[in-house]
Structure 1
């Protein structure tokens, strides 16, 4: 997890309620550069904790409260799935967030930990499916969305926060300012994206306008409609699946893993390494081609000194 440089709570906060302390904690997170998405995640975890133990005073918090919350969530899970995560994975992350909050309060209370849920098999689209989506585009906005997601690996939130001032068409670079962890990075513009951007930009009146002026819900629905038009299962066409597709295709085409890590904006290269298993069959085929008997001996096998 990313560490944030936070100022400790005041005596007034420590004498007040957990919810008041939470509000101060979230303000500190924002001030330290945490993204709104990160702040929302912390808020959701702490509010869930409060919903189980009650909004008591900070001074009354004890390990019994932690055990009560943990036991409740192990037994009953969560009221709703969180962006497709299992209860086990949600519990893992919420425990980390609550632990950070408790540590900020300066309380010597053990939160413990949970094993992270097993990662689901990463889904990607096949090359022909990408072509089907492009052919199903109804307008330049459809084309721009698909080309940017598939050629840059941007997250949905990053795509939707892009403004024209962040794009340098001549240098073929996009400056991603609303990135995860609050860090900026640069991604590059492919041929399809460049043509789509050049077409759309002719209608732009201000560099401060958003490139894709829509909500996440609108983007999600638009992709579903495109999928149905293309004859692809709508469940398989989501922003993050297009990001996965970009990552695996990049590796297949020879992009070094550390370079892919920087383009995707991963803090830890271990996160990027999850895509390696997706190209295992390609690596295996190359290996067999190189090390097959026919490959080694130029098309003939040597047995007992004779070619066969």
Structure 2
């Protein structure tokens, strides 16, 4: 059984996140402490005690989600002797790509935390609150989504931000254009379109100022070749070269998250088990996507134990 480790993106944050891992594993606690120290912020307390409104701020949610993913991976290695080398690939959804790079040894936890803090701040600053929007098109195929975007393009910028799974496409851009696309999609036979409760229009050309900020930050970041190939958001293909990864981390700020293609590509190359570190968002999507693949979410100590036992049994 070939496996891939996957790492969730924004939206999986919740008060109490990571606390069971920190309570159970010293190695997981060490990850949270390292992130707190790198940021000069008691992020772990915010993660465990809230308030949710502050945790959900992009600049907090991004490093928090990364920290939980890497805490799960640290505990898996220290207590169950399973590490990233068990995988054929790693892949992360949006900010999860930074988690994947850390897991594969290409980026340090401290550097990833700082980069994600900046990424979140830059994304929020790029577009004034209320001027941008994102919407999920549920049941839409790519042709229908592109048709709706074409019909709405006269209202402003709107593009496909996330191709998550069959029937789950997210669009992003100027609020007026996104509203027009949502209205148009209802006339194209799509089951449902709904605006998402986000504070900025991620993964669209309006994020260009954030991409520029990340280009400056990543230029000097210590990035090495990963020990396991990383299937990247912008290419949907496996990358093992640090400089290509550096470039693509900038491109993914404005680019489409090609998650459906990424999962399909890994599956086509023999991956039949997708193991999500720290949440179960990607695992839930997988169930609707590839019926003969196994999805495993590593959230609790029991999850880690059962997964490690399955590899050795």
Structure number with greater Rg is 1
Q: Which has the higher helix share?
A: 1
TM norm structure 1:
0.24
Give the TM-score of the pair, scaled to structure 2. Answer: 0.24
More strand by share: 2
